[in-house]
């Protein structure tokens, strides 16, 4: 491995002494001696240069980044099958000495160039992302075959794992010094990929930040299909239109639930404490059906707001929570793609039947999915001893929006509690010492929605919602660094809501995000000020 010896200097940064490399040569960088990885090319971007890159999964188009070197690699994942992943390293000139890996989303195949630019390069991390071994949008599963097992394994964990290893070697070769600490940021499938790494390869990361992980894929996909069956076919008695969700049900949910946290502001701070009763919306004789619900619709609402039990009395997945109604019809059937994505997962990965009709979903499909995804797509191991125990002392920050319309927040609670119980019984370790879960009022899947939702999570800055600062209290990435390197564990964050979720329109209000299982309560004063709220 050829490497240019960088000129080292030391600055006193937020976290003490940080080594900064200068003088590394992007255009002459070579990476020849690593088995199973080939350098495809390097591109130097000077400060302020236009970075305009698009792939099937992710895109970036900005001239606001500091100078960096883009390194593109082909990483062999199974030589005998000829399978490989495309992996990129984005290496800032003003390096903070740390490695930061990023995850993907859905069943997409494409390097996460958005987070590489808007998180790694803006923060000074050496960033890494892989296409997971295939090329597709986030909602297209046809690449998986049926029967394309190498592609499925690559997407499940292998491309990420090999890319982390190669990526660290590239960093060392480029800067002449290995990263002092390694971090990870991902949401949704990205959250699942991060969990898979710490469960399977606990040495790889010192700290991970995980949003709403799709880690129980074998249950998530059937749950999404089940939700769709509660909404389809359009026009059937139980089907609930977009207008009813937004104009009627959401308003009634707010009427029943919004004030419980002390302020009626359109945000339900903790939906666990509201027992929403849809019966109040039942049509009276002669009432206009645009202003009320029939009995089938009320039963459908009970199903989507409650844990889903088969007649076998098996826990399948968490429910929708009251408050996210404006996103739920999209999550169930339409504009947000949960149904198509989940149907593809079951068709191409589990049943190997491209003609499978999702209305035939039954419990046997879930049992088969559990078998197929055990060891691949599922990342549900509760044993984090190797990662979090004294030999490694890894840390997890996990976040989820209460209004998540794609993956029930109940899934995040369920995994966290599974780890909590297992680890306490197995090791006596206190979960707060290594794993903290934060619930975000009003936030939809990974980002957006109505609530204080900007705090440095995956995709947020790229989506127009950057953290208001890189202080650990405003930014989850800075917080995981402070926890790992300084021992300062986060108790809460201060997140912001930008007008129309667009930072160019200014901050509308800022609020704390509480550590689970605490709830956010209004304590009096200016509702736009974070000091008017407390985690109780």
Ligand X SMILES: *[C@@H]1O[C@H](CO)[C@@H](O)[C@H](O)[C@H]1NC(C)=O
What residues have CB less than 8 Å from 321, skipping those under 6 apart?
Answer: 268, 271, 272, 305, 402, 403, 408, 409, 410
SS3 of residue 24 by DSSP: coil
* Least distance to ligand X, CB of residue 281, Å: 27
**Site mask for ligand X (CB under 6 A), range 148-167, x = bound:** -xx--x--------------
Task: Please say which residue, 76 or 241, places its beta carbon nearer to ligand X.
Answer: 76
Residue of closest CB approach to ligand X: 363
* Least distance to ligand X, CB of residue 165, Å: 15
Task: Please say which residue, 283 or 386, places its beta carbon nearer to ligand X.
Answer: 386
* Stretch 99-118 residues interacting with ligand X (CB under 6 A): none
312 binds ligand X (CB under 6 A): yes
Q: Which tokens is 399 given?
A: 């976040």
- Long-range contacts for 466-472 (Cβ within 8 Å, ≥24 apart)? 466/118, 466/503, 468/494, 468/496, 468/507, 468/510, 470/14, 470/123
Distance between alpha carbon 116 and the CA centroid of its chain, in Å? 15
From candidates 275, 311, 335, 360, binder to ligand X by CB under 6 A: 311
Question: What phi-psi label fits residue 464: left (phi over 0), alpha (psi between -120 and 50 degrees) or beta?
Answer: left
* Stretch 336-395 residues interacting with ligand X (CB under 6 A): 351-352, 362-364, 367, 372, 383, 385-386
456 binds ligand X (CB under 6 A): no
Choice among 154, 404, 412, 414 that is catalytic: 404
CA neighbours within 13 Å on the CB side: how many for 407?
A: 31
277 binds ligand X (CB under 6 A): no
* Least distance to ligand X, CB of residue 376, Å: 9
From candidates 9, 12, 27, 335, binder to ligand X by CB under 6 A: 27
Instruction: Report the candidate in 41, 111, 97, 96 with the shortest Cα–Cα distance to residue 69.
Output: 41
* Stretch 482-501 residues interacting with ligand X (CB under 6 A): 482, 486, 488, 499
Segment holding 520, helix H or strand E: strand 520-522
* Least distance to ligand X, CB of residue 431, Å: 15
* Least distance to ligand X, CB of residue 146, Å: 6
* Least distance to ligand X, CB of residue 276, Å: 25
* Least distance to ligand X, CB of residue 15, Å: 6
445 in catalytic set: yes
404 in catalytic set: yes
Tokens 């698009």: give the residue: 54
End-to-end CA distance of the chain: 54
**Site mask for ligand X (CB under 6 A), range 28-67, x = bound:** x---------------------x-x-x-x----x------
Sort 504 into a burial class: Cβ within 10 Å, 0-12 / 13-18 / 19+: exposed
Tokens 């509201």: give the residue: 274
Q: Which tokens is 265 given?
A: 């502001």
* Stretch 122-151 residues interacting with ligand X (CB under 6 A): 135, 147, 149-150
417 binds ligand X (CB under 6 A): no
Sort 43 into a burial class: Cβ within 10 Å, 0-12 / 13-18 / 19+: middle
* Least distance to ligand X, CB of residue 444, Å: 18
Which one of the spans 25-33, 90-98, 169-177, 404-412 is the region binding ligand X (CB under 6 A)?
25-33
From candidates 506, 517, 524, 525, binder to ligand X by CB under 6 A: 506
Segment holding 149, helix H or strand E: helix 149-153
CA neighbours within 13 Å on the CB side: how many for 50?
A: 4
Tokens 């900064």: give the residue: 20
SS3 of residue 359 by DSSP: helix
Choice among 129, 163, 188, 519 that is catalytic: 188
Choice among 161, 250, 414, 445 that is catalytic: 445
**Residues with catalytic roles:** 188, 404, 445
Q: Footprint of ligand X on this chain (CB under 6 A)?
A: 14-15, 25, 27-28, 50, 52, 54, 56, 61, 78, 80-81, 135, 147, 149-150, 153, 310-312, 351-352, 362-364, 367, 372, 383, 385-386, 426, 472, 482, 486, 488, 499, 506, 508
């Amino acid at each position: 491995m050829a490497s240019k010896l960088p000129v080292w200097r030391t600055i006193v940064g937020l976290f003490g002494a940080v080594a900064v490399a200068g003088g590394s040569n992007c255009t002459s960088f070579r990476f020849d001696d690593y088995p199973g990885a080939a350098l495809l090319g390097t591109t130097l971007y000077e400060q302020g240069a236009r970075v305009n890159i698009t792939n099937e999964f992710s895109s970036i188009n900005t001239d606001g980044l500091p100078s960096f070197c883009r390194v593109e690699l082909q990483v062999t994942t199974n030589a005998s099958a000829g399978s490989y992943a495309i992996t990129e390293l984005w290496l800032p000139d003003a390096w903070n000495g740390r490695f930061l890996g990023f995850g993907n989303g859905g069943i997409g195949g494409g390097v996460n160039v958005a987070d590489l630019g808007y998180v790694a390069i803006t923060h000074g991390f050496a960033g890494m992302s892989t296409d997971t071994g295939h090329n597709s949008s986030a909602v297209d599963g046809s690449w998986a075959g049926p029967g394309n097992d190498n592609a499925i394994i690559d997407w499940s964990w292998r491309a990420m794992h090999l890319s982390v290893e190669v990526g660290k070697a590239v960093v060392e070769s480029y800067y002449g010094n290995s990263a002092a600490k390694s971090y990870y940021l991902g949401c949704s499938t990205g959250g699942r990929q991060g969990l898979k790494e710490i469960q399977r390869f606990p040495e790889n990361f010192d700290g991970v930040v995980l949003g709403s992980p799709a880690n129980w894929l074998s249950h998530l996909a059937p749950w999404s299909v089940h939700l769709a069956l509660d909404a389809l076919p359009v026009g059937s008695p139980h089907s609930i239109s977009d207008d009813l969700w937004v104009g009627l049900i959401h308003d009634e949910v707010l009427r029943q639930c919004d004030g419980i946290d002390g302020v009626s502001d359109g945000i339900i701070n903790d939906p666990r404490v509201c027992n929403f009763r849809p019966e109040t919306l039942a049509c009276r004789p002669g009432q206009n059906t645009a202003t009320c619900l029939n009995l089938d619709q009320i039963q459908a609402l009970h199903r989507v707001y409650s844990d889903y039990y088969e007649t076998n009395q098996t826990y399948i997945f968490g429910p929708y929570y009251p408050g996210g109604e404006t996103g739920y019809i999209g999550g169930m059937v339409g504009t947000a793609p949960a149904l198509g994505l989940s149907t593809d997962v079951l068709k191409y990965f589990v049943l190997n039947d491209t003609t499978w009709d999702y209305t035939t979903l039954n419990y046997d499909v879930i049992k088969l999915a559990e078998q197929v995804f055990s060891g691949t797509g599922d990342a549900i191991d509760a044993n984090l001893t190797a990662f979090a125990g004294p030999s490694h002392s890894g840390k997890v920050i996990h976040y989820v929006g209460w209004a998540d319309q794609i993956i029930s927040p109940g899934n995040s609670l369920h995994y966290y509690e599974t780890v909590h119980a297992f680890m306490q019984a197995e090791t006596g370790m206190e979960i707060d010492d290594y794993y903290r879960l934060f619930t975000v009022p009003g936030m939809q899947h990974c980002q957006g929605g109505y609530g204080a939702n900007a705090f440095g999570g995956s995709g947020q800055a790229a989506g127009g919602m950057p953290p208001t600062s890189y202080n650990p209290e405003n930014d989850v990435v800075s917080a995981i660094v402070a926890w790992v390197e300084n021992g300062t564990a986060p108790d809460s964050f201060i997140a912001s809501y930008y007008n129309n979720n667009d930072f160019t329109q200014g901050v509308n209000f800022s609020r704390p995000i509480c550590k689970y299982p605490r709830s956010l309560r209004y304590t009096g004063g200016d509702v736009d000020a974070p000091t008017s709220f407390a985690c109780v």
